[in-house]
Amino acid sequence: MKVLNVVGARPNFVKMAPLVREMDRRSGQIESLLVHTGQHYDERMAGSFFRDLGLRRPEIDLGIGSGSHTEQVARIMLAFEPVLKSYRPDWLVVVGDVNSTLACALVGARVGVRIAHVEAGLRSGDRSMPEEINRLLTDQLADLLLTPSADADQNLRREGIGPERIVRVGNVMIDSLFEQLAAATHSRIREELKLEPGGYAVLTIHRPVNVDDPSRLAQLLRLCGEIADRLPLVLPLHPRTRERIAQGGAALHPGIRTIEPLPYPDFLRLWSGARLVCTDSGGLQEETSALGIPCLTLRETTERPVTIERGSNRLVGTDRRRVLDAVDAVLAEPWRSGEVSPPTPTIPLWDGRAAGRIVDSLLAHYIV
């Protein structure tokens, strides 16, 4: 069985690493090719992740680079089509909800290659998010929808997708998380930053809705400054966020400590020792829930409601009172570190073995 796997951005690398390794372990049954679109293209945002996650270097790098959503999708489609026509896989595997996911799925549908979507069925209900459009369209195009949780199955059935196309496999991002726990213990990031476990918070912000409007970004940073009055706040700066802060001239509270984006093991070591995490990321909602670290999601909607229902995530938006009340509630609770061996999952199938179930599903649905 020939499989073409696509990655484009950091969240894709985390999800794809255990999947590619599982395919390599079954090389007698599967031949796989890895294509990197180059959506995240510099060493900090992409290069180190291949090394740290043990993900082999892609056989093909399209080198697309930055651009608007429309520009990226168009350039990826043009560059990817000849690759797909040349390799002619039995399965095109796309993961997540980035522009590369949708662009390659569109090409696959036009060329007539069967598409498997890993992390299918997630919905926020907010179509102002580019990722939501990517999810909706990719799921309509995919032949096999590999879901992480029961709510995703329900979303797909509600949209008219037949049950024969839906397979719940669990969360492959948690496979990478559990695999990296041991490696993270060797990181010295907390010592380098002089941080005591449980004595700081971690902040990540990069969503356009939070950082592209200068007044909204300034307001959010002021709010984060109030959090920093309660405990130190470490902010690994996404390039987009750094650029927007520089453009807007927003002042940072002295309690907010900015650092460069971190390799995966260092970042895991950082947030797993935090008292709480504040984020607008999707993946961090899942990872913090898997280890029981309190997470405050600075958005009005989430495509991962299971992290609220059964995990440690709280949806707080950016309203000052809501956020600060949630921070105070977390600080009033007992703290425990996330630095433990893989815990008993509180969410079904978030057990570190999703990659095996994904490959089993691809083989089971393989048509000669």
Compute CA 65 distance to the chain's CA centroid, rounded to the nearest angstrom: 19
What whole-number distance in Å separates Cα of residue 39 and Cα of residue 62? 9
Q: How many CB atoms lie within 10 A of CB 288?
A: 28
Could you give phi then psi for residue 346, rounded to 5 degrees? -85, -15
Cβ neighbours around 34 below 10 Å, total: 21
> CA–CA separation, 299 vs 316, rounded Å?
7
Bridge partners of 3, per DSSP, are: 32, 91
Given the residues 36, 40, 117, 206, select the one marked as catalytic: 206
Hey, what are 253's tokens? 């509270």
Annotated active-site residue 186? The verdict is no
Cβ pair 41, 49 in contact under 8 A: no
At 226, which helix (H) or strand (E)?
helix 214-228
Active site residues: 206
